[in-house]
Amino acid sequence: MVLADVTLRDGSHTVNHSFTTEQVRRVVAGLDRAGVPIVEVCHGDGLGGSSYQYGFSAVPELELIEAAAQTARRAKISVLLLPGIGVRDDLRQAAALGATVARIATHVTEADIAEQHIGLAKELGMTAVGFLMMAHTGSPEVVARQGRIMERAGADVVYVVDSAGAMTMEDVHARVSALREALACDVGFHAHNNLGLGVGNTITAARAGATWLDGSMCGFGAGAGNAQTEALVAVLQKLGYECGVDLLPLLDAADAVVRPLLPRPQVLDSKSLILGFAGVYSSFLLHAERAAERFDVDPREVLVEAGRLKSVGGQEDILVEIALGLSTRGAGQAEAVTR
Residues 203 and 83 in one domain: yes
- Give the whole-angstrom CA distance, residue 294 versus residue 239: 47
Residues 311 and 199 in one domain: no
Residue 93: inside a domain: yes
User: In the annotation, is 136 catalytic?
Assistant: no
Residues 241 and 305 in one domain: no
pTM, 2 dp: 0.90
| Rg value, the chain, Cα | 19
Annotated binding residues: 9-10, 163, 190, 192, 281
Q: Looking at residue 38, which CATH number applies to its domain? A: 3.20.20.70
Annotated binding residues for Mn(2+): 10, 190, 192
What residue numbers bound the domain in which 62 lies? 2-261
Residue 275: inside a domain: no
CA pseudo-torsion sign 173, 285, 130, 229: negative
Residue 277: inside a domain: no
pLDDT given at position 174: 98
Q: Where are the beta strands (DSSP E) in 168-320?
A: 186-190, 212-215
pLDDT at 292 over 90: no
Residue 92: inside a domain: yes
246 near 34, Cβ under 8 Å?
Answer: yes
pLDDT in tens, 250-285: 999 999 999 999 998 888 888 888 888 888 877 787
Residue 271: inside a domain: no
pLDDT given at position 330: 63
CA pseudo-torsion sign 103, 104, 109, 112: negative
pLDDT in tens, 64-113: 999 999 999 999 999 999 999 999 999 999 999 999 999 999 999 999 99
Confidence of residue 188 (pLDDT cuts 50, 70, 90): very high
Residues 290 and 240 in one domain: no
Smallest CA-to-CA distance from 82 within 184, 1, 175, 9 is with 9
Strand pairing class (76-81; 157-161): unpaired
- Give the whole-angstrom CA distance, residue 212 versus residue 66: 24
Residue 23: inside a domain: yes
- Give the whole-angstrom CA distance, residue 310 versus residue 304: 10
pLDDT given at position 22: 98
Q: How many domains does the chain have?
A: 2
Q: Which helix (H) or strand (E) holds 53?
A: none
Q: Looking at residue 317, which CATH number applies to its domain? A: 1.10.8.60
114 near 130, Cβ under 8 Å?
Answer: yes
Residues 86 and 229 in one domain: yes
